[in-house]
Amino acid sequence: MKVNTKGRVGIRDVAAAAGVSATTVSHALNGKGRLPDSTRERIAQVANELGYRPNASARNLVAGKTGRLGIAVSSAPGVPFGLSDFDYFIQMLSSATTAALEHGLALVVAGPNHEQTAFERIEIDGAIVIDPVVNDPLVSDIRTRGLPLVTTGRIPSAEATPDDGTCWVDNDHVAGTRSILDHLADQGAERIALLTSTPVTSYTSDAAEGYETWCAEHGCEPLVSIAEGALNEGSGFVAAAALLDMPEPPDAIYATLDRLALGALLAARAREVKVPDELLLAGCTDSQASEWAQPPLTALALDPEEIGRQAVEMLITLIEGDRPRPKHQYVPTRVLTRESTAKRGS
């Protein structure tokens, strides 16, 4: 029996220290085989003391897996890239990376320049697609290859098929939108506008749906402004300007992307419309930019870290295929109250 080949502690080192065979260690640590709990615990403790970390390559080799998960940020065909906010993306990526590594898997990021062939040349065990758009080429590519797939945000489709067996993690954007509209109304808003983009993702169409339902329930006239082109402060500025320059401008704006909200803030500032005194302003997706804006922006926090973590866990379950196939998972949203929606007169 060879021990401690190269400094790194292997399964055989643990076996030697615990006075058992390598197989037993493997079984004990993976919950397989026939072993009494006492032995399992003893081995787990020894492994822990020795700082044993299983070698992912060896494990993947026998399992016939690549040990890699792909994650791609989707890009709409024709729609400029930029649906995802940087903070949102990096937070989600970060937690997803950590979650994957805890399972000994590496998360590989495919950028939008790969277009539809993102994972064509890359060998992976499964993939996550962030915010897929209508008829997403990435999604069909992955499906064609027969790879396990999880999306964050649902796959939007022309037909309304909410439960078609796809696996996704999503916020309940309909409910989230309603909760932030409630907040705005609580703060005294009487004429709330929606600043959004073309509904190419499930997220944007959910927000529109939530807004329209809420307006109908509260007897308000819907007031929607669509930001065209790139979804950034520039297009937000323009779309918000259109609202502010109306004969009867809104007294509150909810923007479905933080960068749109920031653009609205700049538009208000340019017109010397005071936020929050004359205009309440809230955005979706919290970010550092929202936090540091003047005034700081109220936001609908989406918890991207939780979404990333759950998407990875779901994908791994799907790949391993032993536990029952997971389906959907909703991550709760939260209204993060800041100065931009402070009650007027208070």
Binding residues for a second copy (CB under 8 A) = 6, 8, 53, 55-58, 60-61, 64-68, 73, 80-82, 85-86, 89-91, 93-95, 97-98, 101, 106-114, 121-123, 229-230, 232-234, 237-238, 262-263, 265-266, 269-270, 288-289, 292-294, 305
Work out what residue 121 binds among DNA, a second copy, none; the CB cut-off runs from 5 to 8 Å by kind.
Answer: a second copy
* Residue number, 183 or 259, with CB nearest to a second copy: 259
- The yes or no reply on residue 62 touching DNA (CB under 7 A) is yes
- Identify what 215 binds: DNA, a second copy, none; CB under 5 to 8 Å per kind: none
**Rounded to the nearest 10 degrees, what angle do helices 11-18 and 37-50 cross at?**
120
Can residue 67 be called a binding residue for DNA (CB under 7 A)? no
Q: Which does 19 bind (CB under 5 to 8 A by kind): DNA, a second copy, none?
A: DNA
Cα separation of 192 and 305, whole Å?
Answer: 29
Report if residue 66 touches DNA, rule: CB under 7 A: no
**Integer-rounded Cα radius of gyration of the chain:** 25
Determine the 3-state secondary structure of 89 from DSSP.
helix
Taking alpha carbons only, the member of 118, 182, 127, 174 closest to residue 149 is: 127
Q: How far apart are the first and last CA of the chain?
A: 76
Region for residue 13 given its phi and psi (left: phi exceeds 0; alpha: psi -120 to 50; beta: otherwise): alpha
Q: Is 17 in the site for DNA (CB under 7 A)?
A: no
Indicate which single residue of 17, 44, 50, 59 sits in contact with DNA (rule: CB under 7 A).
Answer: 59
DSSP 8-state symbol, 51: T
Q: What b/e string do you get for 118-136 counting C-beta neighbours within 10 Å, with b at 16 or more?
A: bbeeeebbbbbbbbbbbeb
Residue 101 lies near DNA (rule: CB under 7 A): no
**Partner in contact with 36, chosen from DNA, a second copy, none, beta carbon below 5 to 8 Å by kind:** DNA
Residue partners of 224: CB distance under 8 A and separation at least 6: 193, 194, 196, 208, 211
Q: Which is nearer to a second copy, 107 or 253 (CB)?
A: 107
In whole angstroms, the minimum distance from the beta carbon of 235 to DNA comes to: 49
Q: In degrees, to the nearest 5, what angle opens at C-alpha 176 toward C-alphas 175 and 182?
A: 90
Q: Which residues contact 221 (CB under 8 A, 6 or more apart)?
A: 191, 215
Q: Of 21 and 213, which CB lies nearer to DNA in the complex structure?
A: 21
- What is the smallest separation between the CB atom of 54 and DNA, expressed in angstroms? 4
Q: Is 61 in the site for DNA (CB under 7 A)?
A: yes
270 scored as a contact of DNA (CB under 7 A): no
The residue ranges that bind DNA (CB under 7 A) are: 2, 5-6, 8, 10-12, 15, 19-24, 26-27, 29-30, 32-36, 39, 52-55, 58-59, 61-64
